[in-house]
Chain A
Amino acid sequence: MRGDVLLDIRNLRAFYGRAQVLFGLSLHLYPGEVVALVGRNGAGKTTTLKAIMGLVSATATHATFKGHSLSKLPTYRIARLGLGYVPEDRRIFTDLTVEENLETGRRTAEAGRSPWTPERLFRLFPNLGEMRGRRGNQMSGGEQQMLSIARTLMGNPDAILLDEPSEGIAPVIVQMMAEAIRAMKAEGVAVLLSEQNWAFAAGISDRACVIERGEMRFQGSMAELMADKALREGTLGG
């Protein structure tokens, strides 16, 4: 049922200048599953996602997505393989309207799949549908977060790297975010989620990876992590 591995990263190392931030961590993602990357502030979650997208200088002994090697690919080629990225600071184009923001992410879907369209996305995020002509700089943080996810979905990705979707957002919208992630999963989109909000991550994820100081401390099912109180307190503080 799982199918072939979608994203397969082994022994990932990343650097900011001369400072090493990631020390050989490995992770993988299967089609349609939601995996939470959890860990404290500064553990290396965001860097992991950026390194996969080719946005920071990194090396890995093996890095493939759908069987294509990611090493030395420019960011746009990685995105075109079907790997979407939603950065933690959302990075909405504030001069552009909601519809124009969606346009920037648009790419044709592979044959045989029902593509994401603005109309479908507005059903998923009704708030956005009510402000199609509004510019990014007149939107709340939560609305920007929805737009950022919707924009990435316009590229019809097979997997999305989602960085801290619940950060700095009203609880009501966090709930909507969880709904949206479940909806994506239902559409067969895999999600690799970096998250500090433990409760949020636990509610929507199939598996969890715990990062501490740039190294992988734990990989396993959500249930296992829930059961291991010592590990949780040691690495996540609760």
Chain B
Amino acid sequence: MIALDPSFLAVQALSGLSSASSLFITACGLTIVFGVTRIVNFAHGSLYMIGAYTAATLIPRLLEFSFGPTAFWAGILASALIVGVIGVIIEVVLLRRIYGAPELFQLLATFGVVLVVQDLVVQVFGPEDILGPRAPGLRAPVDILGRRFPSYELALIAAGPIVLGLVWLLLRRTRFGVLVRAATQDRDMVASLGVNQALLFTGTLFLGAFLAGLGGALQIPRVSANTGMDLAIIAEAFVVTVVGGMGSVPGAFLAALIIGQLQAFGILIFPKSTLVVVFLLMAVVLAIRPYGLFGRAEVIGGTHAVGIASRKPQPGRPFILLFTVAALAGFPLIADAYLLKVATEILIFALFAFSLQLLIGVGGLVSFGHAAFFGLGAYGAALAVKWFGTSMETALPLGLALAALGAGLIGAFVVRLSGIYLAMMTLAAAQILYAVAFQWVDVTGGDNGIVGVWPSRWASGPVPYYLLTAALTLVAVLLLKRIIDAPFGYALRAARDSEARAEAIGLAIRRHRWLAFIAAGAAAGLAGGLYAFSRGSVDPSLLGISTSVDALTMLLLGGIQTVIGPLVGAGALHALRDWIMPLTPLWRLFLGLSIIAMVLLFPRGLVGTVRDRWEARA
């Protein structure tokens, strides 16, 4: 146990304040942009990262010309301005086209920007981390109650309130600010008063990106600019904006203060689990106040959900089923071991994506943390094998059960929320599990994960394991399909299309949604378990944001409004990866651009687009 003497506590509190400042400056931009545009900008973290890289590259050159605080701070400001301009470009090229799109598409499109920026940053600045210069005039540590404390951190502590004050003045004392606040509340009315929204939005994006760039640039004396900064900061910035209430600047400030202190002192209680503490805070706040500390319910509602509609049963259904079974069963006759391995993986991800379809397409519940259930299934199975020595036949159901249990718990929390808050909360839940898997090394093996998770002898080898996967996937998909077409599925759709009306006719929509979470979680858990045994190992990345985004991308590729869309999407994404990745090191760039193109050009997905053509001709 660390001795709790006053000087230690003081230094700890101060470092909490300085991280709060940095976090606030970045999150403030995110919350302003969300308030006006209603877009949760995943790329905000990328802008932060660009700010850090730009400053770390630019400022040393400025300091060569004239060494001194002026050059340093001018460099910080210039970097933030450059990032502001990049934000404007992103707004004009992409965001402007998706303001009216469903939330899911907005999240995915901005995540596409994240991928593009990740590759571009490496191209422009090189693959090495860049160590920035220390600030002239703030290099010597100061003495705080006998302990040394970096003076730059004190400057950061001051920067937070200064930015808060300036943003406050901007929003309260200028016409731009008044219009931004008005648009945060009611965009259409602002247009009816003759305000050009496009300009207002572009201005807002400039401000938001400027703040992200500023936040990033201010980091360079503390940490070197690196390619992991974007996703690290975006997760924390999301928590700050959600806890503070989306769109609320003072809320973001308060939330950043709380989180900074929680991180500073959380280390004393849970030395390894600062991430868990932060996301637990978010879970608690949202459970008590579903719209954050200073947030409020959406004034202008209207459902943003898109999903599958009711369709007449296709004629010849039994034949389709028979054909599918025959095709799946006959595939090993024509495929080699490699193709079978690929097919097994596609089937697993198809099941994973299909389970998400139940939540998003049918229930309108945009879960952004579906990896949680996939990972729980995989870890459940792997832990059963590792710690209890069970066989695959026992481990798979155990994994499924763990995922269903997790879905029941998480679902109970999130069914109270709606729209973007639900997306953020599911993301947070997945991040908590990710942190647990990553940090609880004794049980989960930490970063290395668990190895030696092999199938039973009868199922090992490409052909038997493929057949097992195909059979289980088919059964699970048919069961889910049955659920979708049953009255339960209709109730979910009714709640998706109009919560108020569904409630008025007596549907217990929260319970339906909760059950949907459990069903979807169980199916995703089965997929996760199958994945663990197909690979022989599990690791925390199965629970990561990118796994959740994979599922969403498959759904988007295939088409949200169709039942077989996810299956096609899983195949398409896999094929895309297999083709592009060996061809170019810039696969993230291509994947990101493909996602953006899908959102802009084929929002109905491959299956949906083909079917539209088909029906238009008929």
Report the stretch among A100-108, A178-186, A224-232 that lies at the interface. A100-108
Report the stretch among A3-11, A25-33, A90-98 that lies at the interface. A90-98
Q: Given A103-B175, A103-B178, A104-B178, are A93 and B194 also a contact pair (CB < 8 Å)?
A: no
Q: Which residues of B contact A107 (CB under 8 A)?
A: 194
Q: Which residues of A contact B190 (CB under 8 A)?
A: 104
A151/B193 in contact, CB under 8 A: yes
A79/B181 in contact, CB under 8 A: no
Q: Which residues of B contact A95 (CB under 8 A)?
A: 181, 184-185
Provide a sorted-by-A list of 17 A–B residue pairs whose CB atoms are within 8 angstroms.
Answer: A75-B192, A76-B191, A76-B196, A76-B197, A79-B192, A80-B194, A93-B182, A93-B186, A93-B189, A94-B185, A95-B185, A96-B185, A100-B178, A104-B182, A104-B190, A105-B193, A106-B175
Q: Which residues of A contact B175 (CB under 8 A)?
A: 103, 106
| Distance in angstroms between the alpha carbons of A100 and B184 in the assembled complex | 14
Among B162-215, those with CB < 8 Å from A are: 175, 178-179, 181-182, 184-186, 188-197
A104/B195 in contact, CB under 8 A: yes
Binding site for A on B (CB under 8 A): 175, 178-179, 181-182, 184-186, 188-197, 299
Q: Given A74-B191, A104-B195, A152-B193, are A91 and B181 also a contact pair (CB < 8 Å)?
A: no
> Nearest 3 A-B pairs (CB), nearest first?
A79-B194, A75-B191, A91-B189
How distant is A51 from chain B, measured CB to nearest CB, in Å? 13
How distant is B556 from chain A, measured CB to nearest CB, in Å? 24
Interface residue A55 (Cβ < 8 Å from any Cβ of B): yes
Identify which of A91, A101, A103, A155 contacts B194 (C-beta below 8 A): A155
| Distance in angstroms between the alpha carbons of A76 and B194 in the assembled complex | 4
Q: Which residues of A contact B192 (CB under 8 A)?
A: 53, 55, 75-76, 79, 85, 87
Q: Given A55-B192, A75-B192, are A91 and B186 also a contact pair (CB < 8 Å)?
A: yes
Q: Which residues of A contact B191 (CB under 8 A)?
A: 74-76, 79
| Distance in angstroms between the alpha carbons of A96 and B172 in the assembled complex | 9
Binding site for B on A (CB under 8 A): 53, 55, 74-76, 79-80, 85, 87, 91, 93-96, 100-101, 103-107, 151-152, 155
Closest to A79 in B: B194
Q: Which residues of B contact A103 (CB under 8 A)?
A: 175, 178
B196/A104 in contact, CB under 8 A: no
| Distance in angstroms between the alpha carbons of A88 and B185 in the assembled complex | 17
Identify which of B181, B188, B193, B197 contacts A155 (C-beta below 8 A): B193
Q: Given A76-B195, A76-B196, A80-B194, are A87 and B178 also a contact pair (CB < 8 Å)?
A: no
Q: Which residues of A contact B181 (CB under 8 A)?
A: 93, 95-96, 100
| Distance in angstroms between the alpha carbons of A104 and B178 in the assembled complex | 7
| Distance in angstroms between the alpha carbons of A76 and B178 in the assembled complex | 17
Q: Choose among A76, A94, A96, A105 the residue with the greatest number of B CB atoms under 10 Å from its CB.
A: A76
Identify which of B188, B193, B196 contacts A55 (C-beta below 8 A): B188
Q: Which residues of A contact B178 (CB under 8 A)?
A: 96, 100, 103-104
A75/B188 in contact, CB under 8 A: yes
How distant is B175 from chain A, measured CB to nearest CB, in Å? 6
How distant is B203 from chain A, measured CB to nearest CB, in Å? 14
How distant is B506 from chain A, measured CB to nearest CB, in Å? 26
Q: Which residues of A contact B196 (CB under 8 A)?
A: 76
Q: Which residues of B contact A152 (CB under 8 A)?
A: 193
| Distance in angstroms between the alpha carbons of A96 and B188 in the assembled complex | 16
Q: Given A103-B178, A104-B178, are A79 and B185 also a contact pair (CB < 8 Å)?
A: no
Closest to B247 in A: A95
How distant is B304 from chain A, measured CB to nearest CB, in Å? 15
How distant is B497 from chain A, measured CB to nearest CB, in Å? 13
| Distance in angstroms between the alpha carbons of A177 and B175 in the assembled complex | 29
B188/A79 in contact, CB under 8 A: no
| Distance in angstroms between the alpha carbons of A53 and B192 in the assembled complex | 7
Q: Which residues of B contact A100 (CB under 8 A)?
A: 178, 181-182
Q: Which residues of B contact A55 (CB under 8 A)?
A: 188, 192
| Distance in angstroms between the alpha carbons of A104 and B184 in the assembled complex | 13
| Distance in angstroms between the alpha carbons of A93 and B182 in the assembled complex | 6
How distant is A172 from chain B, measured CB to nearest CB, in Å? 27
A96/B182 in contact, CB under 8 A: yes
| Distance in angstroms between the alpha carbons of A155 and B192 in the assembled complex | 11
Q: Which residues of B contact A94 (CB under 8 A)?
A: 185, 299
Q: Choose among B178, B182, B189, B196 the residue with the greatest number of A CB atoms under 10 Å from its CB.
A: B189
| Distance in angstroms between the alpha carbons of A39 and B186 in the assembled complex | 28
Closest to A85 in B: B192
Q: Which residues of B contact A104 (CB under 8 A)?
A: 178-179, 182, 190, 193, 195
Closest to B193 in A: A105
| Distance in angstroms between the alpha carbons of A103 and B174 in the assembled complex | 10
| Distance in angstroms between the alpha carbons of A151 and B196 in the assembled complex | 17
How distant is B173 from chain A, measured CB to nearest CB, in Å? 10
Identify which of A74, A79, A96 contacts B193 (C-beta below 8 A): A79
Q: Choose among A79, A94, A106, A155 the residue with the greatest number of B CB atoms under 10 Å from its CB.
A: A79
Closest to A100 in B: B178
Known: A75-B191, A76-B196, A93-B182. 9 other contacts (CB 8 A): A55-B188, A74-B191, A76-B194, A79-B191, A80-B194, A104-B193, A105-B194, A107-B194, A155-B193
| Distance in angstroms between the alpha carbons of A104 and B189 in the assembled complex | 10
Q: Which residues of A contact B186 (CB under 8 A)?
A: 91, 93
Q: Choose among B179, B184, B195 the residue with the greatest number of A CB atoms under 10 Å from its CB.
A: B195
How distant is A65 from chain B, measured CB to nearest CB, in Å? 13
| Distance in angstroms between the alpha carbons of A115 and B299 in the assembled complex | 32
| Distance in angstroms between the alpha carbons of A75 and B195 in the assembled complex | 9
| Distance in angstroms between the alpha carbons of A96 and B186 in the assembled complex | 12
Q: Which residues of A contact B193 (CB under 8 A)?
A: 76, 79, 104-105, 151-152, 155
How distant is A143 from chain B, measured CB to nearest CB, in Å? 17
Q: Which residues of B contact A85 (CB under 8 A)?
A: 192
| Distance in angstroms between the alpha carbons of A106 and B197 in the assembled complex | 15
Q: Which residues of B contact A93 (CB under 8 A)?
A: 181-182, 185-186, 189
How distant is B179 from chain A, measured CB to nearest CB, in Å? 6
| Distance in angstroms between the alpha carbons of A151 and B193 in the assembled complex | 8
| Distance in angstroms between the alpha carbons of A117 and B173 in the assembled complex | 18
Q: Choose among B182, B192, B196, B197 the residue with the greatest number of A CB atoms under 10 Å from its CB.
A: B192
Q: Which residues of B contact A75 (CB under 8 A)?
A: 188, 191-192
| Distance in angstroms between the alpha carbons of A50 and B498 in the assembled complex | 23
| Distance in angstroms between the alpha carbons of A53 and B184 in the assembled complex | 21
How distant is A76 from chain B, measured CB to nearest CB, in Å? 5
How distant is B156 from chain A, measured CB to nearest CB, in Å? 30
Closest to A101 in B: B182
Closest to A157 in B: B194
How distant is A104 from chain B, measured CB to nearest CB, in Å? 5
| Distance in angstroms between the alpha carbons of A104 and B192 in the assembled complex | 10
Q: Which residues of B contact A79 (CB under 8 A)?
A: 191-194
| Distance in angstroms between the alpha carbons of A94 and B196 in the assembled complex | 21
| Distance in angstroms between the alpha carbons of A112 and B294 in the assembled complex | 46
